[in-house]
């Protein structure tokens, strides 16, 4: 499926669901400790139970989030995948239109790769310029948040030389790759296929620091 700015979220959502259906509920993912069942439950909660979903970021609500995750994961697998595929309820603020693209496009792309890139033998998907531009547009806005805990400055550079400063610092590391791989690096995925330019100590400090949300 060709992915454009208005279809990134929908395309990644449905491709992820197709893949989860093929692999089943017990397949591993890049999300530490999570199977595909756990990942599907997370996506359902995120879109349909906003208070519980807030527990992912707010310690005070962590218990609520954990209970919601456990209860949702116990649903029958076909039902759980279908809930992800059908998307959020009509009242969800992140479910439709431009907000959905900004919030869901990167989310579903990253989690799609979380399932695709497990184990040996995986390959990058064929290049899609429209998907790349859609991801770059979102990453350009989110990069500072993703790298906010980096102990060094961070510059993101595409193969064509286009750059964005993700974090300013006296010493910086340049992360080089196509937007898909830069997105995965920004979200803390070790499997991101990027090149890192800078002092090796600074590179290691960046790699060891938390990234994403």
Residues 65 and 45: beta-carbon distance below 8 Å: yes
Q: What predicted TM-score, i.e. pTM, was given to this entire model?
A: 0.89
Cα separation, 101 vs 106, whole angstroms:
8
Pairing of strands 195-197, 172-176: antiparallel
User: What is residue 212's three-state secondary structure?
Assistant: coil
Tens digit of pLDDT at every position of the chain (213 positions): 444 434 788 899 999 999 999 999 999 999 999 999 999 999 998 887 776 555 566 676 667 777 888 889 999 999 999 999 998 877 676 666 566 667 788 999 999 999 999 988 999 999 999 999 999 999 999 999 999 999 999 999 999 999 999 999 999 999 999 999 999 999 999 999 999 999 999 999 999 999 998
d(CA 73, CA 70): 5
């Amino acid at each position: 499926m060709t992915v454009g700015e208005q279809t990134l979220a929908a395309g990644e959502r449905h491709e992820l669901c197709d893949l989860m259906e093929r692999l089943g509920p017990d397949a591993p993912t890049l999300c530490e400790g999570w199977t595909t069942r756990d990942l599907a439950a997370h996506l359902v909660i995120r879109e349909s139970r906003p208070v519980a979903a807030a527990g992912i970021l707010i310690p005070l609500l962590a218990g609520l989030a954990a209970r919601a995750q456990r209860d949702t994961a116990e649903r029958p697998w076909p039902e759980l995948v279908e809930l992800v595929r059908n998307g959020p309820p009509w009242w969800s603020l992140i479910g439709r239109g431009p907000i959905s693209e900004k919030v869901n496009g990167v989310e579903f792309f990253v989690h799609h790769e979380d399932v695709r890139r497990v184990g040996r033998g995986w390959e990058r998907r064929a290049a899609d310029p429209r998907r790349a531009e859609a991801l770059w547009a979102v990453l350009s806005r989110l990069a500072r948040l993703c790298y906010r805990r980096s102990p060094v400055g961070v510059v993101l550079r595409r193969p064509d030389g286009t750059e964005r400063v993700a974090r300013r610092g006296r010493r910086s590391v340049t992360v080089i790759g196509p937007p898909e791989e830069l997105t995965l690096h920004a979200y803390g995925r070790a499997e991101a296929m990027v090149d890192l330019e800078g002092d090796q100590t600074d590179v290691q400090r960046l790699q060891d620091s938390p990234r994403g949300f």
